[in-house]
Every structure is written in structure tokens, then in C-alpha cells.
């Protein structure tokens, strides 16, 4: 399931699949090691559009709300689809 970094829950991990932004935004994030294909973990977030703390490798980074909402992450451990099973045994 794809979520923005802002919508992830604290403690969730995932892989960055897409970054929306201009050249400078992508370049700044790349300099911090935040790029597509990188595994990250959300450590915390502040109430009311505050910064988001993430872990990239062994490094903890704080990202502003505006940048964080432009980063899409594929969450690990989430089912990609729902499988329906008839447990009643009926016809």
C-alpha cells in the first residue's frame, strides 16, 4: 500500500517508491540519502504539520511537513490484496 510519509504511523517501515517535487527538492533529499528504493522507518511526527523524524540506515533525519508529504512509501508487511474465504462450508 502506498502512503505519503505523513500518513505513515510511527514505527512503520517501508521503501520509498516515488518522490514528488522539483529539482531542488529531489537534490536536497538525495543529499540526505533519501531517494527511491531506500528503506526508511518513521520514528515520530509532531502534531499540526510539524516535522517528521525518520531513520535511513543508521541515521535519524528530521524532514519538514511539506517535504514529507511529497514522499510516497510502500509499507512493509501490509497485504497487497484481500483474499475472501467462505468459512461457512455452504454451497
Instruction: Work out the pLDDT band at 41, boundaries 50, 70, 90.
Output: very high
Closest CA to 46 of 10, 86, 87: 10
* pLDDT beyond 60 at 12: yes
Q: Which three cell numbers stand for residue 26?
A: 529531489
Q: Residue 78 pLDDT > 70, yes or no?
A: no
| Whole-prediction pTM | 0.78
Query: What's the whole-number mean pLDDT along residues 18-35?
Result: 94
What mean pLDDT is reported for the chain?
A: 86
Q: What is the pLDDT of residue 47?
A: 80
**Residue 72 predicted with pLDDT over 60:** yes
For residue 46, being part of any structural domain is answered with yes
Can you give the CATH number for the domain in which 38 is found?
Answer: 2.30.30.90
30 is in which domain, residue-wise? 2-75
The answer to whether residue 85 sits within a structural domain is no
Amino acid at each position: 500500500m502506498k502512503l505519503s510519509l505523513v500518513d505513515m504511523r510511527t514505527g512503520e517501515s517501508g521503501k520509498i517508491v516515488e518522490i514528488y517535487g522539483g529539482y531542488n527538492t529531489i537534490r536536497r533529499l538525495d543529499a540526505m540519502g533519501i531517494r527511491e528504493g531506500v528503506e526508511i522507518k518513521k520514528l515520530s511526527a509532531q502534531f499540526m504539520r510539524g516535522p517528521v523524524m525518520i531513520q535511513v540506515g543508521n541515521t535519524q533525519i528530521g524532514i519538514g511537513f511539506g517535504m514529507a508529504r511529497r514522499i510516497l512509501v510502500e509499507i512493509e508487511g501490509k497485504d497487497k490484496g484481500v483474499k475472501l474465504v467462505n468459512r461457512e462450508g455452504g454451497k
